[in-house]
Amino acid sequence: MTVYVDDMQAPFGRMKMCHMIADSTDELLAMADRIGVARRWIQHAGTTREHFDIAMTKRALAVRHGAVEVTRLELGRIILARRAKPAEVQR
């Protein structure tokens, strides 16, 4: 199982944000806990689009904890591949 962070740098106030997704909900939540992102900030929970928007400082922490860096295009391909799989995705 893998956690991914993309290279997006969308402005949000004074911060730049990117996406963090994972192959499973459990792994995504475990990484959020490790890097100090509150679970309540999860978006699209339980769907193939499940992710967190995280600040670049949290992205760097995620990478240090083993997250794989991908481009936005690669992240989109991962999400599309999930949609093609049966509903057993996530947990």
Q: For 19-72, what is each residue's pLDDT tens digit? A: 999 999 999 999 999 999 999 999 999 998 999 999 999 999 999 999 999 999
Is the pLDDT at 78 greater than 60? The verdict is yes
The pLDDT value given to residue 88: 53
The pLDDT value given to residue 87: 59
Distance CA 12, CA 33 (A): 22
The pLDDT value given to residue 86: 65
Q: For the chain, give every domain's residue range.
A: 3-84
Contacts of 17 (CB under 8 A, 6+ apart): 8, 9, 10, 11, 53, 54, 55, 56
Q: Residue range 3-26: average pLDDT?
A: 96
Query: Could you tell me the pTM of the whole model?
Result: 0.89
> How far are the Cα atoms of 6, 54, 69, 82, 83 from residue 76, in angstroms, in the given order?
10, 17, 13, 10, 11
Distance CA 77, CA 91 (A): 20
**How far apart are the two ends of the chain, measured CA to CA in Å?**
11
The pLDDT value given to residue 49: 92
The pLDDT value given to residue 83: 86
